[in-house]
A and B are shown apart, each in its own frame.
Chain A
């Protein structure tokens, strides 16, 4: 091996299989590293990719930690990695999409004219179908899935996971009821259409039903972002931009799914002039991009897993697909190309929404396993007098 673990030589030292100690400084450099360099060690340490090997006879004297480096504990992170995997990334996507589609369908039911009937029908169907895998994904993610019902054992709204479970349960009931109503009555149930044949109690029931479903869907759309922000993970901790980003993404993916479904069965071109779905999709994308920028600025170098780490390609794809979706949607094309172009834009938007959530969940794994980021998330505020400062050089 290139470097010696002991300052002496003996027959057994050659057989040592120890990992190099990243805290052991082998070559002391005079100029300190600026903190803006991410606190990286200026002196050469025994990293596996270290270039120069010290002379085996003499190890240079070391200080506790040279200027520019930081106190650390080998290469072990002080945090535990999250246990959430692909099931949770998928749940974030499908749950958000379902809530967004449901909200747009309800708005179409109450505020849209006759042209919005197809939106409402498709939206309610999509909201139901995409909420079906959600409980299964969540149950499969548990360490002890047969105890899934313990989630509803107590009502504890101070825990985002508990509140979200209750909201998801209530919301899925609302979606199912809305779909059943749609199937049984054969009507969309919009007040305008049902005004003639349905009495006031039915209309009142409809309003109450949807008024109850609205807050449930709004919570389901964004609570997962709040849940992530209420962890000690370096990528997510206390980041207020996650909730609004997930909410906006829920609306945009819901609109894209409805648009895709409508365009799969073309009837008269109701959205040819840029209907509500495309406009709300653009608005939601703008909000989502703004929230992503705010998230990146708020996280600072703790967002490194998304930019330089294992999720950098997925994250870049998410941003690129979001931008591409908007660009494609606004291309001036001949009328006969509008439908395929719209579908392509919607598909790109859905891919962006899914990959953004995938990158966020899996980036959290890398962030928690990174010893430097784990220390950074629990770094004292620079404006406050640094605690333990007398112990640092």
Chain B
């Protein structure tokens, strides 16, 4: 940040040359603005901010994918890569795709065809296994309650990638890529300036909603009731209260079909549950065999 020029106390140039110099010296502290700029804060600074993605409103325009790629300056995944899987050419979240729109064409028996569309994203779990797995301390919970990978610390060990039960993280492994793990940051840089994340901002139907998590959850529950009242009884919330081993997900969804139809896990495991027990049995076996060898050695020595 370049220092600003000293602000003179009045607009008219001072006739007195010596007085002008004195004014410059008086305003000298203003020449260097404070390091921390004042940014607008959310109303409650410690509230968790999350996403509610309502797939019944999604029109599959992929504006969220484009906005995410553009804001975060993510590289292309390959031009002209056609998968043949309906409109889904992105196929999966990765190190360079942090919003992925899934498409599923479902053919009904009576010609009741419909298109399932879901904008997939990092779930920013409250007991995130990626955060627990990270050995460098790169993955943290930031001040918005979101899971954030600090790119200047990550060394690309890949543990978070195997730990995530949703398959969210990827490692940027192409030549000339940085070799680190990457995922959705919930636009932490935009949030810090009081802005809405890029995907939520770009979504034309408000399918992706952003805000404090408790407000999102009450809005989501109201939406499900509204859908049930309209006759859509298969609508439900995925990750609002609990799913699998996880409690509320900070980024949760309203779905219409079984989670596997959208390539979401039915009951995602938290792999670190039972870690202590697994350490205990491993240590017990190692120690037991070591002591057994000592016992046999002692017997041999006496012989």
Contacts and interface: CB of A to CB of B under 8 A. Distances in A.
Interface string B165-189: 1111111110000111100000000
A260 interface: no
Contact of A248 (B102, B155, B289): B289
A283 B83 CA distance: 53
A238 B285 contact: no
B261 to A, nearest CB: 5
B104 A73 contact: yes
Interface residues of A, number: 99
Contact of A247 (B138, B155, B234, B282): B282
A77 B167 contact: yes
A91 interface: no
B290 A151 contact: no
A88 B171 CA distance: 17
B133 interface: yes
Interface centre among A19, A108, A231, A381 (most CB of B within 10 A): A231
A284 B289 CA distance: 7
A138 to B, nearest CB: 9
A227 to B, nearest CB: 8
B179 A143 contact: yes
Contacts of B282: 222-223, 225-226, 243-244, 246-247
Contacts of A279: 296
Contacts of A226: 275, 278-279, 282
B162 A144 contact: no
Interface string A126-145: 00000000000000011111
B149 to A, nearest CB: 12
A104 B104 CA distance: 58
A222 B279 CA distance: 8
Interface string B117-147: 0000000000001001111111000000000
B161 A82 contact: yes
Contacts of B244: 378, 380
B198 interface: no
B167 A78 contact: yes
A163 B124 CA distance: 24
Interface centre among B85, B279, B298 (most CB of A within 10 A): B279
Interface stretch (A56-64, A324-332, A352-360): A56-64
Given A143-B179, A156-B137, A279-B296, A72 B271 contact: no
B6 interface: no
A218 B136 contact: no
Interface string A371-393: 00011011111000001101110
B84 interface: yes
A329 to B, nearest CB: 15
Interface in B264-290: 264-269, 271-275, 277-279, 281-287, 289-290
Given A107-B297, A276-B300, A151 B281 contact: no
Contact of A80 (B169, B236, B263, B268): B169
B23 interface: no
B266 A388 contact: yes
16 contacts: A71-B257, A73-B260, A73-B263, A76-B263, A80-B92, A107-B293, A111-B298, A143-B171, A143-B172, A144-B155, A145-B155, A159-B159, A243-B282, A248-B286, A378-B268, A388-B258
